[in-house]
Structure 1
Amino acid sequence: MENYELLYAKLIDEIKLYNPNSNFDLINKAYNIALEGHIDQKRASGEPYIIHCIEVARIVATLELNSKSIAAALLHDVIEDTIYTANDIKNMFGSEVSLIVEGVSKLTNISLQTQKEQQVENIRKMFMAMSKDIRVIIVKLADRLHNMRTLEYKTKKSQFEKSKETMDIYAPIAHRLGMSSFRIELEDLSFMHLYPEAYADLSEKMEKNKKERYELIDNIRNELFIDLKNNNIEGSVEGRVKHLYSIYRKMVNQNKTLEEIYDIFALRIIVNNIKDCYFALGMLHENYKPIPGRFKDYIAMPKKNMYQSLHTTLINRNGKPFEVQIRTWDMHRVAEFGIAAHWKYKQNIDNADQSSSLEWISQWMEWQKETKDEDEFYSNLKNDLFDMEVFVFTPKGDVINLPYGSNPIDFAYHVHSAVGNKMIGVKVGGKMVPVTYTLQTGDIVEILTSNTGKGPSRDWLKLVKTSQARTKIKQYFRKERKEENIEKGKDQLYKEIKRQGFSPVDLLKPQYYEKVLERYNFQELEDIMCAIGYGGITSNKIISRLREEYRKDHKEDHYPIIQEITSNYKSSKGNEGIIVKDIPNCMVKISKCCNPVPGDEIVGYVTRGRGVSVHRSDCINIINDKEFTDRKIEVYWNMNSDESYETVLQIKAYDRPNLVTDIMKLLSELKIKCNGVEAKLSKEAYADIRIRVMMHNKDEISELNKKIRKITGVFDIIRISKRQKIR
């Protein structure tokens, strides 16, 4: 029997444990279609691709979802990677399974110009589908979780990109849906690949005191259980160590060592009803000393992701601080599995009504309809998924939760667009404050309005935190000042076209701009001008699209450009460490914006008058350069060269005397040339040190990082761009 057959048998056994009445005919049919479609495909690890499909289905099964959900998980890559189409899946399995599979599949049938644009369109498509059926994102999160578990078989570049996207988007989505078990594993796996040295260092330190820590947890857990029993409160007490990334984030944000983080572990009391939650809280505060300012009532004021619990931090009888969460069993299920917990009770219901907690998805997509710029879309998504939030009150006592860092403008537009548009001032706690005031939990906010006001300022677009407020401000300018926006947008577009060396007459031909209209859902050219004018999209995005269409009519111009430019440098002295394909002795310059070294994936960029500039292939300046496609040229490292290259390392450490001296002493001992050092005390009161050193390759950098990490007080070190400013 093949390994995947044994794995599939495990899946069936796991489903039988929670739902012996599942539709196994449907699940078997989905398995056979997936097996047939992926039969000759292998993963990067070399194992049959069907193993990935089964593992994703097993993750979905841990949430105890129904047969159609399992079938969709097995089929999740079929549309994207096999001969089967969405219609095939719909005909064989019905519209419900088809919707989930199609929602998870990446876009393959439209032309997208950049990787960021492709990423944004896939996320947009996924959100559209998950607003109709939340299982779309549940299956996608399961898919991403298994991919992260097996990321070691990918290239370092792919590991970094996938981990960053996971940390930026998928882990926050899991948090927003209340799926903490998914979020925790996604964050820790991303942390391992984004900051491998910090991860290894923290793991090693956590392992050292593991036995003592678990003994302490057991002792406190036993104490709490006895206290519950003595007070006739029926419940369970659990203890756990917090996950690595949450500990690392606290160390960095609070500028503390591991030994100074006192809430590394938490106790959890689970009782039968809400009344017992508050009884248990009273018992704890009577028996243990609570730490002031560390109590939070998420039962009375639930988080956006439906999370409910009482949080308090106490001092035990031995003087050790510890955190306790108190919740009911229903709250516990929601805390662990979030929105997926609701599906557990809807197994036999087709097209079950969506929970009201999903309204934010449809609402968020509505706000983003006018966001044409993929960078802004991505930024809005990250901000709106960010887990920190503040709870503020209206004068009538209604609770409004907003992202951390929100200001009164965000508050006003959250109440209603008319309130924001008519706002002329704001009071917090009865006192006038500026619109730039950062709202704090507990603030009572009163918006002052006037029907004769001038309306919102364009500057507000730069001040607001929420995409809801930003979208409503743009809607105001789009509707109220259309003519002004058209003129302003036209002026910006024409100036930028000329700045890039083109004529508006050449680029703004109907056959070019009609493709732009289609891509961004505009009706006419004036709509493009208007959108640029009110900030809905940048002129660069439009010009980039126009130039793409222009190039299709001028294909013969592409390769001669590089040939013509590079021919000027054939007699110039080249960099011995770089080989430019087909052009010997070409003038080469290592880019200072990303500082590549041997071991990095690199790409050449033909400059105007300065030869070939060599960048890391993931350099943001290259990715965002509109002429990159025209001026790209293949370059390689000369592995026989012994040249060294300047590298900038950022060191974060707890400030102490002789810290910089110890770092410089290490460099001297290792005979590493240092071109410069810059140090500053950050706002968080830790030392931020930048050193410019000459290194031969990535391996040498990695070895140096390991040695610097051993210096007392150092808790993080990363390689950065030379041009990044110290803050």
Structure 2
Amino acid sequence: MAGYVVYDDLKQMVLESGRPYDMEMLDKAYQLAERAHSGQFRRSGEPYICHPLHVAMLLVDLGMDTESLAAALMHDVVEDTSVTLDELESQFGADVAHMVDGVTKLTKIKFSSVEEQQAENLRKMLMAMSQDVRVMIIKLCDRLHNMRTGDAWPEQKRRDKALETMEVYAPIAHRLGISNIKEELEDRSLWYLDPVGYQNIKDLLAENGGREFVTNIAEVIRERLAENGMPEAIMKSRVKSVYGIYRKMFMQNRDFEEIYDVYAVRIILDTVAECYNALGVIHDMYHPLPNRFKDYISTPKPNGYQSLHTTVIGHEGVPFEVQIRTREMDQMAEYGVAAHWKYKAGIQSGSSDRLEERLAWVRQLLESQRENEDAGSLLQDIKGDLLPEEVFAFTPKGDVINLPAGATAIDFAYAIHSAVGNRMIGAKVNSRIVPIDHKVVTGEIIEIITGPADKGPSRDWLKIVTTSEARNKIRNWFKKERREENIQEGRAALEREMRRNLITVPDDKWDEFMAEIARRQRLNSADEMYAALGYGGLQISRLMGKIKDEYAKLKAGDEKAANLMADIPLKKYKGSDGVVVEGIDNCPVKFAKCCSPLPGDEIVGFITRGFGVSIHKKDCQNAQASMADPENRGRWVRAYWEDTKQENYKATLELTAMDRSGLVGDVAMALTELRVPVYAMSARAVDNGRASMSLTIGIASTEHLNSVLAKLRRVKDVVSVMRV
């Protein structure tokens, strides 16, 4: 293992840390992991045991305890080897086994989608974390080492892992206050997602020589503080992370010179009083920029971060940020919840209570998720609630409410109390009436205007709120107060979507069909499923895949019925509307909307009551179901396209494309160039930055249709086009 990290390297780090580790437990954990992973190698070619050793070393840096290191050494043995949790518990105790289980993925359960699997693995990890935060600290170190060695992954896996890290793990590290890990996770993810943008910023930092600039500034400030009675001040300097700069340059469209906190000097003092005195000294030395002062000591961030921030202009004309905090605040800012272990002796007073407070968001998230049948929404809530940016607003009584950036007045109301949100009829910001979808800005005083106790929220609020807390409180109100209305709303919405997807379940099979769909959602009845759809706890888009699967099974038993039509040769008469119907002369014909047949499709006819013959494609699911019905079987007749007839027939197309301005115009131009009549066109935005368009156009034949499809697929940003 020459050149690779070995157990002796970990033992040396443990020894140099000076903390009292149980080496007997660590030795036993390493030996078990080394045996279990024997013969396994990583994609990079190094022995697999190097990975858990690196993770354990990262935990030593954070100052974590013996049990955490033991769990880190064995964190992959249950997932990747034959070792069981029971064995770990018997040898190392319940806490170590619980931590290993918390970071072990659900590999033996089959999920309907990658997103559902990701959500359930995350839910499992968060539940373990709510009982023991060390689970998440181990997972963050695990992900950090994986990102450090991600060059060995295939390109697509690198991008997928980087995106998951950026959206889930970096925000969790932020909420836990572990800033070093958070920043490195973001920077390494950015390198895989946008290497060009990453390198641009690295080049800008190199050109500006920032490290030397802030070092010189720090020394000047240290001398001035000593002159003002603060000789013990500790000075640190830092350059903003690459991703922090990237977010402001590329996402907020700002130039490098417009970012005022690229360079920062940190002043660490003994008391809060000294922090405010030092702020006065800094403002006396340098010109402060207006509206760039933030007092996170009196109003800490939700993750517990405390510091004074002010941005000033240096004598060279370069703006820089000054951060002023106490030693304890600095420890918490650097290590977050890990400081509970790293500095246990120094900050023990009240630290357990603060640890509980800082994990409250996990329990709140899991509590709201228990009320929600849609597993995939956990990812949405994580991405929405854990954004690094926060805003702070005040109630008229002076209470501080912390919310993610972009939160509305409705989110503010529900953050106060569910009863306030449910009764909300309006809001005032700084004594002026504002719309209820007003975006909260830091420093605002917001008064919620309430109505009668039975007022209740609006369903439309679900489209306005941004926090999972508000969203789930609204859903819970509808769930409890409007059950019958929810059932009706949910069933009606589901029926509309099924009609749009041309899914027709016979009445005699409807109840059984829906009961099976409900069971697949782990719900007790179809009514419970309708109610969940009605109050928003279950999304129709996630349900349709399962409905289509069940519908395909339902139809599979009726396939033979398509060939049950009486095989009786009938005289062919002259057709009407380009169609020849066997045995019927000049019969009026209409084309079924469920399958929209075109010349070239194999077709059949259905003798209707009141209007001639309805023409269907031979493989139309509705036609096959009707042929299987003894009452309707005799009304189906053979039909053919008349060779000499040439005219337009309506066809409906579904087009998916990347959402952009000018898309509809480009599609319309392509159809105009082909001289294709357009009878209807609609477009809407869907998830993942895409747009969906529905087109009803005039087509002469299947060959004509194929040429139109080929033309549309060549339109810029079009992903797929298909006939429905």
Q: CA deviation at 1:491?
A: 2.2
Question: For structure 1, which runs of at least 5 residues remain unmatched after alignment?
Answer: 559-567, 570-590, 596-618, 625-644, 649-674, 677-691, 693-719
1:195-210 → structure 2 map (5 Å cutoff): 195-210=194-209
* Cα separation, 2, equivalents of 1:2 and 1:509: 67
Q: State whether structure 2 residue 71 is matched by structure 1 residue 66.
A: no
Judge which range, 168-177 or 259-268, deviates more: 259-268
**Which of residues 244, 247, 254 is equivalent to 2:245?**
247
In the other structure, the counterpart of 1:399 is: 400
User: Is the CA contact 1:177–1:339 (under 8 Å) kept in the aligned structure 2?
Assistant: yes
* Cα separation, 2, equivalents of 1:261 and 1:403: 22
In the other structure, the counterpart of 2:278 is: 280
1:545-564 → structure 2 map (5 Å cutoff): 545-548=546-549
Q: CA deviation at 1:205?
A: 2.9
In the other structure, the counterpart of 2:219 is: 222
Q: Which amino acid aligns with 1:265?
A: Y
Q: SS in structure 2 opposite 1:49?
A: coil
In the other structure, the counterpart of 1:115 is: 114
In the other structure, the counterpart of 1:322 is: 320
Q: Which amino acid aligns with 1:386?
A: L
* Cα separation, 1, equivalents of 2:689 and 2:409: 35
Q: State whether structure 2 residue 264 is matched by structure 1 residue 263.
A: no
In the other structure, the counterpart of 1:529 is: 530
Q: State whether structure 2 residue 22 is matched by structure 1 residue 27.
A: no
Can you list the C-alpha shifts for 1:545-603, whole angstroms capped at 9, x where unaligned? 34446667989999xxxxxxxxx99xxxxxxxxxxxxxxxxxxxxx97479xxxxxxxx
In the other structure, the counterpart of 2:193 is: 194
Q: CA deviation at 1:193?
A: 0.6
Q: SS in structure 2 opposite 1:238?
A: strand
Change (3 A) 1:107 1:388: same
Q: CA deviation at 1:647?
A: 14
Question: For structure 2, which runs of at least 5 residues remain unmatched after alignment?
Answer: 560-599, 602-654, 660-686, 693-709
1:339-378 → structure 2 map (5 Å cutoff): 339-345=337-343, 354-378=355-379
TM-score, with structure 1 as normaliser: 0.74
* Cα separation, 2, equivalents of 1:89 and 1:515: 40
Q: CA deviation at 1:512?
A: 7.0
1:284-299 → structure 2 map (5 Å cutoff): 284-299=282-297
In the other structure, the counterpart of 2:670 is: none
Q: Which amino acid aligns with 1:367?
A: S
In the other structure, the counterpart of 1:50 is: 49
Higher relative contact order (CA 8 A, sep 6+): 1
* Cα separation, 2, equivalents of 1:101 and 1:507: 50
Can you list the C-alpha shifts for 1:314-336, whole angstroms capped at 9, x where unaligned? 12233332110001111111111
In the other structure, the counterpart of 2:163 is: 164
Change (3 A) 1:458 1:86: same
Judge which range, 320-329 or 500-509, deviates more: 500-509
Which structure would you say has the larger Rg? 2
In the other structure, the counterpart of 1:331 is: 329
Judge which range, 162-171 or 86-95, deviates more: 86-95
* Cα separation, 2, equivalents of 1:264 and 1:373: 41
Judge which range, 518-527 or 232-241, deviates more: 518-527
1:365-514 → structure 2 map (5 Å cutoff): 365-451=366-452, 454-504=455-505
Q: CA deviation at 1:215?
A: 2.7
In the other structure, the counterpart of 2:124 is: 125
* Cα separation, 1, equivalents of 2:358 and 2:558: 54
Q: CA deviation at 1:501?
A: 4.1
Change (3 A) 1:508 1:165: farther
Q: Which amino acid aligns with 1:59?
A: L
In the other structure, the counterpart of 2:148 is: 149
Q: SS in structure 2 opposite 1:229?
A: helix
Q: CA deviation at 1:447?
A: 1.4
**Which of residues 310, 313, 316 is equivalent to 1:312?**
310
Change (3 A) 1:8 1:513: farther
* Cα separation, 2, equivalents of 1:145 and 1:352: 26
Q: SS in structure 2 opposite 1:255?
A: coil
User: Is the CA contact 2:260–2:311 (under 8 Å) kept in the aligned structure 1?
Assistant: no
* Cα separation, 2, equivalents of 1:507 and 1:3: 71
Change (3 A) 1:9 1:113: same
* Cα separation, 1, equivalents of 2:383 and 2:333: 22
Can you list the C-alpha shifts for 1:630-682, whole angstroms capped at 9, x where unaligned? xxxxxxxxxxxxxxx9999xxxxxxxxxxxxxxxxxxxxxxxxxx99xxxxxx
Change (3 A) 1:28 1:2: farther
Q: SS in structure 2 opposite 1:171?
A: helix
Sequence identity of aligned pairs in percent?
44
Q: CA deviation at 1:493?
A: 2.4
* Cα separation, 1, equivalents of 2:556 and 2:87: 38
Change (3 A) 1:508 1:364: farther
Judge which range, 434-443 or 219-228, deviates more: 434-443
Can you list the C-alpha shifts for 1:194-241, whole angstroms capped at 9, x where unaligned? 00111122222322333xx33322221110010111111121111121
Can you list the C-alpha shifts for 1:231-287, whole angstroms capped at 9, x where unaligned? 111211111211111112121244333344343211100111111111111111122
Q: SS in structure 1 opposite 2:441?
A: coil
* Cα separation, 1, equivalents of 2:509 and 2:164: 35
Q: CA deviation at 1:156?
A: 1.1
Q: SS in structure 2 opposite 1:268?
A: strand
User: Is the CA contact 1:507–1:550 (under 8 Å) kept in the aligned structure 2?
Assistant: no
Q: SS in structure 2 opposite 1:131?
A: helix
Q: SS in structure 1 opposite 2:62?
A: coil
In the other structure, the counterpart of 1:704 is: none
RMSD between aligned residues: 3.5
Q: Which amino acid aligns with 2:25?
A: L
* Cα separation, 2, equivalents of 1:231 and 1:410: 45
Q: Which amino acid aligns with 2:98?
A: L
* Cα separation, 2, equivalents of 1:71 and 1:646: 61
Q: CA deviation at 1:111?
A: 1.6
User: Is the CA contact 2:340–2:352 (under 8 Å) kept in the aligned structure 1?
Assistant: no
In the other structure, the counterpart of 1:715 is: none
Change (3 A) 1:307 1:295: same
Change (3 A) 1:481 1:332: same
TM-score, with structure 2 as normaliser: 0.74
In the other structure, the counterpart of 1:17 is: 16
Q: SS in structure 1 opposite 2:378?
A: helix
In the other structure, the counterpart of 2:88 is: 89
Change (3 A) 1:505 1:44: farther
User: Is the CA contact 1:65–1:347 (under 8 Å) kept in the aligned structure 2?
Assistant: no
User: Is the CA contact 1:424–1:453 (under 8 Å) kept in the aligned structure 2?
Assistant: no
Q: SS in structure 2 opposite 1:386?
A: coil
Q: Which amino acid aligns with 1:309?
A: S
* Cα separation, 1, equivalents of 2:10 and 2:255: 43
Change (3 A) 1:39 1:513: farther
Change (3 A) 1:352 1:327: closer
* Cα separation, 2, equivalents of 1:506 and 1:123: 40
Change (3 A) 1:722 1:257: farther
Judge which range, 415-424 or 444-453, deviates more: 444-453
Q: SS in structure 1 opposite 2:449?
A: strand
